[in-house]
Amino acid sequence: MYDSFDSDIYFFSSEVTFLLEKKDLNGLIELTKKKHQEELKENIDIQVKRDDLMMWNIVFARETIRNGSLKKYLHPVYNKYYTSIKSCDTLQKLQTIELDMINSYIDILINGIELTDNLIINKVIGYLHVHTENQVKLKEVADRFNISVGYLSTIFKKVTGMSVMQYLKRIKIERAKTLLTTTDMSLIEISTLLCFCNQGNFTKTFKRITGMTPTEYRNTNP
């Protein structure tokens, strides 16, 4: 695979571009897992893989911006992967980062575009999707957009039918569903990543929203 190019040959694949444009998460995950098998078989150099992921981070960020997400909201996501890629020291860990990176960017591509007729709420929704893996507080969101907590709470519920925190929890659970079906992360790892106070709270919230526990969801969606 790496005989002709000293980098990921999938950079030159029109299939990747097509899947990105279609926001096809399952297709990208399937293609990436196929690539991972080839990488393991070829035992590619760690530095080559690290450099390739740095490039993919740029590609995904640019594609997300091109599809309507504001550049400033992507900084935390881009910087997170830039840092984690640099510090990673095994091929398997880099491959896990790549799958997580695809999940994050596609989530923003699908959900971070304008969804309502209210400009402020669109921006808040985009902000929540970008900060899915952070501990978000209502006042911080209100301050970010220079509005009061009371106004944010009222207008958000009027437009979406739920509170800001309820909406954020649903985003986190959607992210958890993807992690459960595309990674081998444990429940405690997922609950910690998504900033739930503990695994019990994560499981309770997951079941309330989906009707099943995280383990049941993983077992029924192999």
pLDDT 10s digits, 38-84: 999 988 999 999 999 999 988 888 877 776 665 666 777 888 899 99
Residue listed under structure tokens 């954020």: 168
135-181 pLDDT tens trace: 999 999 999 899 999 999 999 999 889 999 999 999 899 889 888 88
What residues have CB less than 8 Å from 214, skipping those under 6 apart?
Answer: 176, 180, 187, 190, 202, 203, 206
Any idea where the domains of the chain sit in the sequence? 9-111, 119-220
- Which CATH architecture does the domain made up of 119-220 adopt? Orthogonal Bundle (1.10)
Helix (H, G, I), strand (E, B) or coil at 134: coil
Contact 68, 84 (CB under 8 A): no
Which whole number is the average pLDDT over 92-103?
90
pTM of the shown model: 0.62
If phi over 0 gives left and psi between -120 and 50 gives alpha, with beta otherwise, what is residue 186? beta
Cα–Cα distance, 218 to 103 (Å, whole number) = 16
pLDDT band at 1 (very low <50, low <70, confident <90, very high): very low
The pLDDT, as a whole number, for residue 199 is 94
d(CA 121, CA 14): 35
